[in-house]
Structure 1
Amino acid sequence: MTPSQRQSIPLRLALYALMACTALVFLFPFLFMIASSFKTNDQIFADLESFRALLPVGPLTGQNYARAFELGNIGHYLFNSLLVTGITVSLGLLVNSLAAFALARIEWRGKQAVLTLLVILLVVPFEVISVPLMLLVASLPGLSIGAAGVQITSSWLDTLYVQIVPFIANAFSIYLFYQFFRDIPKDLDEAAYVDGATPLQVYRHVIVPSSLPVFATVTILQGLAMWNQYLWPLITVPGEAARPLMVGMEQFFGARKTAWGEVMAYATLITMPVLAAFVIFQRWFVRSVVGSGVKG
């Protein structure tokens, strides 16, 4: 070990200690949520004055989870949220990446105008268009599948696809794909075209294999946004059949005396799928953020 390497050891140890302390700060709420989900209300408040609040110690029970499934109908709401998120993200990856491919790799008239419109859409809050969008989907005929078969309905309201279709195309996802695709050398496209490839074949065999990090990033970001949807389903899904998790949680606990153990159990069940998705895709997510220069 060289003298310069030995001198850098204290600095590295201090850096690791700082990183560990920062990680603990962010872990505190998560640990508190999981530990409290196994405790009664009295036990939660009794442990607040010590580090026992972060640990699953004392009289523990799984009754909070049982009541979340029994009274909160969480199984049905969980299925709805998984279905809406899965379909929206899957279709969104295809639609948004193809749109970005056309913007980044193909020359055509009006491309700059579309890019300008895309940037404008990035700064428009969804709350601004939520009411006009609700009036639009309320006037669109839809399909209802039930015991009587497939029937035409007079509105998209109170359905699963009202939560899916408006969010498949996403300006921010298109922009992320565009930023990443633009940095891929165009020599690869030209070589493929010389071999007789079509634009779709270039997209499938050249661009997609080179862009797995940004696909993972969009999967996480769009999946998280859809999983946390609250305002839109609150105003468009009044019934229970298509209700997602977030609205279901508010409906369940809004009219009852707060049982914090049940709240923490419900919150834990909501958080786990998102955490699992991030753990699976984190390597590509970090690579994409670094490679595309995404900030914030």
Structure 2
Amino acid sequence: MTQLKKLGWYLLLLAIGYVFLFPLLFMLVSSLKPEQEIFADLYSIRAILPVGELSLENYRQVFAKSDVLLYFRNSVLITSATVVLGLFVNSLLAFTLSRMEWSGRKYVLSAVIALMIIPLEAIVVPLLLLVSKLPTIGWEQGVMVLKSSWLNTLEVQILPFVANSFFIFLFYQFFRDIPKDFDEAAELDGATPFQIYRHIIVPMSGPVFATVAILHFLLMWNQYIWPIMAVQGEDARPVMPGIQIFFGRQVGWGEIMAYASFVTLPVLAVFLAFQKMFVRSLAGAGIKG
């Protein structure tokens, strides 16, 4: 009976795994097929099998019809800058909330928690109006100029998303559980609050830093709504909105699948490479599923 029960659990897990893997397999296989074959195999097991007339033509069309390498570079710059700045800003604010005593600290913490329930869609229009009035420095024909708006720039996709209330709260939860005896011992040796943060708290908080870095990376790489609204030109466009190029009167589904595969595979590769660290960081940061 125990063996049958175990077999049943394995079959259930395989079925669940198939449900989650099916869209990914379908996307990858369809990116190698001509459009007529995609629809011909749609209702059979061949939809997720690399069989039939396979080629890289859809990928060639992706590179011919869009500047996908530019979009990819922009996404790497935006994501990297936001994650690095976010780790510093969010952890530093969480440090002041969890390790230091100052007037109004509880009210700021309450505001951070309250902000966690507000979705981006609720503030996207006021945020767009704000950044459209902010000046910035740009380049035109190799000359530095002062522009009157953040729109169509990389910074409009970076700076509004550096601070994140959810990530601040994750850092706060982790920092709060570190014994304050370390702080007191460092203060007796003449350490400043920033030195305590840099030399004591940060080295002891590897799991939560890894957690926030991975989650922030996924959040920024998958940005779609905000870039569509804040970026109209090609120069600062990231990869996700770039898929709009392939939607027209004649939709090329093979090309769409190829583009989606191209922008998904790097994320999948990063996740698989750091899978063990991701699982350990989630457990270490105290996030329960």
TM-score strictly above 0.5: yes
Any unmatched runs of 5+ in structure 2? none
Quote the residue 1:270 is aligned against. 263
**Amino acid across the alignment from 2:267:** V
CA shift, 1:37, in A, is: 0.7
The answer to whether structure 1 residue 99 and structure 2 residue 93 are counterparts is yes
Quote the residue 1:136 is aligned against. 130
Deviations 1:30-83 (A, max 9, x none): 111111111111111222232221121111110111111110221111111111
CA shift, 1:9, in A, is: 5.4
CA distance in 1, matches of 2:283, 2:257: 34
Quote the residue 1:53 is aligned against. 47
The answer to whether structure 1 residue 230 and structure 2 residue 224 are counterparts is yes
Quote the residue 2:104 is aligned against. 110
Whether the 8 Å CA contact 1:84–1:226 is kept in 2: the answer is: yes
- Equivalent positions of 1:149-164 (< 5 A) are 149-164=143-158
CA shift, 1:199, in A, is: 2.1
CA shift, 1:12, in A, is: 4.2
| TM-score of the pair, normalised by structure 1 | 0.91
**Amino acid across the alignment from 1:57:** V
The answer to whether structure 1 residue 192 and structure 2 residue 186 are counterparts is yes
Q: Which moved more, 1:63-72 or 1:17-26?
A: 17-26
CA distance in 2, matches of 1:292, 1:13: 33
CA distance in 1, matches of 2:25, 2:137: 44
* Aligned-residue RMSD, C-alpha: 1.9
Whether the 8 Å CA contact 1:234–1:247 is kept in 2: the answer is: yes
CA distance in 2, matches of 1:246, 1:70: 17
Deviations 1:91-116 (A, max 9, x none): 11111111111111122221100000
Question: 3-state SS of the aligned residue for 1:245?
Answer: coil
| TM-score of the pair, normalised by structure 2 | 0.93
The answer to whether structure 1 residue 294 and structure 2 residue 287 are counterparts is yes
Q: Percent identity?
A: 55
CA shift, 1:213, in A, is: 1.8
Whether the 8 Å CA contact 2:75–2:221 is kept in 1: the answer is: yes
CA distance in 1, matches of 2:205, 2:10: 32
The answer to whether structure 1 residue 210 and structure 2 residue 204 are counterparts is yes
The answer to whether structure 1 residue 181 and structure 2 residue 175 are counterparts is yes
Any unmatched runs of 5+ in structure 1? 1-6
CA shift, 1:10, in A, is: 5.2
Deviations 1:129-183 (A, max 9, x none): 1111111111111111242321111111111111111111111111111111112
Whether the 8 Å CA contact 2:133–2:150 is kept in 1: the answer is: yes
Question: 3-state SS of the aligned residue for 1:152?
Answer: strand
Whether the 8 Å CA contact 1:216–1:281 is kept in 2: the answer is: no
CA distance in 1, matches of 2:98, 2:279: 22
The answer to whether structure 1 residue 244 and structure 2 residue 219 are counterparts is no
Quote the residue 1:122 is aligned against. 116
CA shift, 1:288, in A, is: 3.5
How many residues were matched structurally? 289
Question: 3-state SS of the aligned residue for 2:240?
Answer: helix
